[in-house]
Amino acid sequence: MVRLTPDLIQQSMQYLNPCRDRELCLRSYRIPMIENLGATLDQFDAIDLSDNDIRKLDGFPFLKRLNTLLLNHNPIVRIGDNLEECIPNLQVLVLTGCQIQELTDLNPLSTLSNLKNLSLLQNPVTHAKYYRQYVIFKISSLKILDFRKIKLKEREEAEILLKSKEGKEYLKILAKKSKSLLNLMAILIVILLILRFLLNENIQISQKMEELKKIREAIARASSLDDVERLNNLLQTNHDNNLNSDQNGMDVDEEDEENE
pLDDT higher at 63 or 194: 63
Does residue 31 form part of some domain? yes
Q: Check whether 215 has a pLDDT greater than 70.
A: no
Give the Cα separation of 236 and 230 in Å (integer): 10
**Model confidence band, residue 153 (pLDDT cutoffs 50, 70, 90):** very high
Tell me if 121 is assigned to some domain.
yes
Q: Residue 169: inside a domain, yes or no?
A: no
Confidence of residue 175 (pLDDT cuts 50, 70, 90): confident
CA nearest neighbour of 75 among 93, 50, 92, 58: 50
Work out the pLDDT band at 252, boundaries 50, 70, 90.
very low
Q: Return the pLDDT at 171.
A: 75
Provide the number of structural domains found in the chain: 2
47: enclosing H helix or E strand: strand 46-48
Give the number of other CB atoms < 10 A from CB of residue 141: 14
Q: Are residues 63 and 117 in the same domain?
A: yes
Q: Which of 19-23, 135-139, 235-239 has the lowest mean pLDDT?
A: 235-239
The reply to whether 23 and 133 lie within a common domain is yes
Query: What is residue 77's predicted lDDT score, i.e. its pLDDT?
Result: 92
Q: Are residues 130 and 108 in the same domain?
A: yes
* Residue 65 and residue 35 share a domain: yes
Q: Does the pLDDT at position 152 exceed 80?
A: yes
| Domain end (from 107, 134, 163) | 163
CB 242 within 8 A of CB 198: no
Same domain, 156 and 250: no
**Same domain, yes or no: 25 and 125:** yes
DSSP string covering 166-228? HHHHHHHHHHHHHHHHHHHHHHHHHHHHHHHHHT-TTS-HHHHHHHHHHHHHHHHH--SHHHH
Burial (CB < 10 A; 0-12, 13-18, 19+), residue 10, is exposed
Same structural domain, 158 and 30: yes
Average pLDDT over residues 214-240: 59
The pLDDT-based confidence of 250 (bands split at 50, 70, 90) is very low
Residue 77 lies in a domain: yes
Q: What is the pTM (predicted TM-score) of this model? A: 0.72
| pLDDT for 203 beyond 60 | no
Clarify whether residues 114 and 38 are in a common domain.
yes
Residue 232 covered by a domain: yes
**Lowest-pLDDT range, 71-75, 110-114, 222-226?**
222-226
Domain end, chosen from 140, 163, 186, is at 163
pLDDT band at 177 (very low <50, low <70, confident <90, very high): low
Per-residue pLDDT at 167 exceeds 60: yes
pLDDT above 90: residue 169:
no
Do both 120 and 231 map to the same domain?
Answer: no
Same domain (yes/no): 16, 66: yes
Which of 128, 163, 198 delimits the end of a domain?
163
Asked if residue 231 belongs to a domain, the reply is: yes
Domain annotation covers residue 53:
yes
Distance of CA 193 to the CA centre of its chain: 20
Say whether both 140 and 15 belong to one domain.
yes
Q: Provide the pLDDT for residue 246.
A: 46
pLDDT grade, residue 135 (50/70/90)? very high
CATH of the domain at 54: 3.80.10.10
Q: Are residues 41 and 130 located together in one domain of the fold?
A: yes
Torsion angle, alpha carbons of 195, 179, 105, 4, to 10: -30
Tell me, yes or no, whether 168 lies in a domain.
no
Q: What is the mean pLDDT of the chain?
A: 83
Structural domain boundaries, residue 232:
175-259
